[in-house]
Amino acid sequence: MESRDQDRIQPESIEQKYWHAIIHNDNSYDGTFFYGVQTTGIFCRPSCKSRAPKAENVLIFHYVEEALARKFRPCKRCKPTGERVPDQEWIYGITDYIEHHYAEPLTLDVLATVSHGSPYHLHRVFKRITGRTPVQYIQEKRITEARRLLENTRLNITDIARHVGISNPAYFITVFRKHTGLTPAHYRERHDNS
């Protein structure tokens, strides 16, 4: 049922045969075209077993060079360039995704899905490359942004927590204190007095 619905959901810019090949992982189209997912910045072969993208986020490329010229990174799973993606480049793509999506619900599973890897492998490689786990990296990004908002806005603590992707204000205060040694209110007060 779901694949029939996906067959019907197709933007005007993607030919039906391409969309059908993407959602059915049709390897007979490998080498004929590649598709890039704008929200992740990754491009794949039609046969890629990654989760089907939203149609409105897909761009079609006839050559690998087109995708690379548009700054898309090759999928680590289906290797559209025929080469293994270096771990450092893969992790750079994930940290870049976090930088732009830190306010959204981010879990290891979400990051693994958008980066076309397994959660276990992602966690292990991310820690080896960055020295931090993905969760630590996300928290640091959120706290850095929260500090900026505390210093430069009059938003209340609850709004700042939501703005940085933490829906529970009490949890936000706990995480903020763990990272800075201060509650958000004390951090703002100290900044206001300096």
From the list 77, 76, 97, 96, the residue with the least C-alpha distance to 86 is 76
Classified as helix, coil or strand, 144 is helix
Q: Which residues are catalytic?
A: 44
Tally Cβ neighbours within 10 Å of residue 107.
Answer: 12
The predicted structure's pLDDT at residue 35: 95
The predicted structure's pLDDT at residue 8: 42
pTM higher than the cut 0.75: no
Q: How far apart are CA 143 and CA 178, in angstroms?
A: 10
Q: Which residue positions in the chain have pLDDT lower than 70?
A: 1-13, 194
The predicted structure's pLDDT at residue 115: 86
The predicted structure's pLDDT at residue 10: 42
Which DSSP category does 85 fall into? Answer: P
Edge-first strand listing for the sheet containing 58-61: 58-61, 34-37, 42-44, 73-74
From the list 168, 92, 181, the residue with the least C-alpha distance to 130 is 92
* 151, 180 contact by CB (below 8 A): no
